Amino acid sequence: MKIITNISLLVGLNTQGLLLRRGKQMQDIERIEDAYLVIDDQGKIESWGKMQELDLTHYADNKTLDIIQLEEGQVVMPGFVDSHTHLVFPAWREGEYVMKIKGMSYEEIARQGGGILNTARRMQQANEEELYVAAAERLKEVISLGTTAIEIKSGYGLSTESELKMLRVVRRLKETFPITIKATFLGAHAIPMEYKQEPDRYVDLVINDMLPRVAGERLAEYVDVFCDRGFFTQQQTERILEAAARYGLKPKIHANELGLTGGIQAGVKYKAVSVDHLEHVGDEEIDLLLNSQTMPTLLPATSFFLNLPFAPARRMIDAGLPVAMASDFNPGSSPSGNMKFVMSLGTLKYKMLPEEAFNAVTINTAYALEISDAEGSIAKGHWANLIITRPVPSFEFLSYLFAHDLVDKVFVKGKEWEGKAGKF
């Protein structure tokens, strides 16, 4: 058993069993000052309270008791949940980064066979071992930055064998890391060059060849499609989601990054757990989302990195919607999995209040991975997935200091995380 004592601010509590926070509720955070927190031997949250109520004699018989006493100013909060990443990839794309600086757009690069297709070519040659080693380094790094649950997509394979290879790497990460990892099959991420004239034939391959294999080996929990201009149409997306539903794969899709392209319509129709990106959202889309269980998920680091418009987060929250924010970690459009930076971007670029941004990267992303009954907030019986910050003067500093590393320690399922990332 562990007791963290002298916590200046314990924040992100969830005493009402909420699974998400929407609209005005996004401004609510439950917090107590000068607190303690008890973690049981299973690594779950047992109890908490004000320091003055802590009676250590109560725990006197406990042989394994470990007391972690904090310094003045240290905050304890839930670990970040990153509900959208492409963390398994064979190589970075710094060349395209320079092309973008010189004026080319993400879409132009993609049309010329760069972008996702560039990574997919490298993926054909990569072996599972090297992919695993590189992804494991990235995962160690993001855990050190405070991420304690994550989703990882395939989508750089674009052939049956390579998609399966990526998903087996994700399976191995699940087996070797203590954090919760959810796998998403993104066979329809881009149309390979050889299918450019007949994209529907590629959709057939995804449906008839890839999906049965992915489902047969139980390699994914979710299905994703990049439903956007120059990628997959709403109709093609719906065909894939329809087929995936027969295998019990729920959608979490890329929608409306480049235009109003019907992705939200397709996602809501097939009961998507989340629709992600949403740089382009109209009134019709907001109404659809209001009448759904789907979590709108925004990826502000992608807008920042690609100079895309920022999603209308304020309009969405003011309309009563919940909003989640994830990193989109990938080599092309968001080469970072730093969720603290994502939280800061939410305040700076979406004009979310610090409380709203905090909820968007914890409880609401946990909902977008269907784990908010066990992670993403501090509640009795939830995993003790926690960040202990360096001393800060107030809650606002967590997002205000947009580029500082505020993490002192990370706890995953009650154990201090000691992994350090090495090379890029």
Structure tokens at 41: 């031997």
Residue 347 C-beta-side C-alpha neighbours within 13 Å: 21
User: What is the rounded CA–CA span in Å between residue 112 and residue 412?
Assistant: 43
Structure tokens at 79: 């670990």
User: 3-state class of 279 per DSSP?
Assistant: coil
Rounded least distance, CB 311 to ligand NIG, Å:
13
Rounded least distance, CB 189 to Fe ion, Å:
8
Rounded least distance, CB 400 to ligand NIG, Å:
27
Nearer to Fe ion, 322 or 337 (CB): 337
Question: What are the Cα distances from residue 390, in Å, to 70, 148, 318?
Answer: 10, 18, 33
Element housing 232 (H / E): none
Structure tokens at 261: 């392209």
Polymer length of the chain: 424
Q: Which stretch binds Fe ion (CB under 5 A): 126-134, 199-207, 321-329, 369-377?
A: 321-329
Q: Which stretch binds Fe ion (CB under 5 A): 30-38, 133-141, 328-336, 412-420?
A: 328-336
Nearer to ligand NIG, 180 or 297 (CB): 297
Q: Is the dihedral of CA 85, 88, 94, 98 positive or negative?
A: negative
User: 3-state class of 194 per DSSP?
Assistant: helix
Rounded least distance, CB 71 to ligand NIG, Å:
39
- Applying CB under 5 A, among 163, 328, 356, 370 the residue interacting with Fe ion is 328
Which of Fe ion, ligand NIG, none has residue 184 at its interface (CB below 5 to 8 Å by kind)?
none
Binding site for ligand NIG (CB under 6 A): 86, 115-116, 119, 226, 254, 257, 302, 328, 330-333
Which of ligand NIG, Fe ion, none has residue 311 at its interface (CB below 5 to 8 Å by kind)?
none
Rounded least distance, CB 229 to ligand NIG, Å:
11
Nearer to ligand NIG, 82 or 257 (CB): 257
SS (HEC) of 288-335: HHHCCCCEEEECHHHHHHHCCCCCCHHHHHHCCCCCEECCCCECCCEC
- Indicate the residue whose CB is closest to Fe ion: 328
Nearer to ligand NIG, 254 or 340 (CB): 254
Nearer to ligand NIG, 252 or 413 (CB): 252
Residue 144 C-beta-side C-alpha neighbours within 13 Å: 12
Taking CB under 5 A as the rule, does residue 238 contact Fe ion?
no
Nearer to ligand NIG, 12 or 115 (CB): 115
Nearer to ligand NIG, 39 or 88 (CB): 88
Structure tokens at 278: 């949403």
Rounded least distance, CB 328 to ligand NIG, Å:
5
User: 3-state class of 190 per DSSP?
Assistant: coil
Rounded least distance, CB 352 to Fe ion, Å:
20
Structure tokens at 388: 């202990």
> For the chain, first and last CA: distance in Å?
36
- Site residues for Fe ion per CB under 5 A: 328
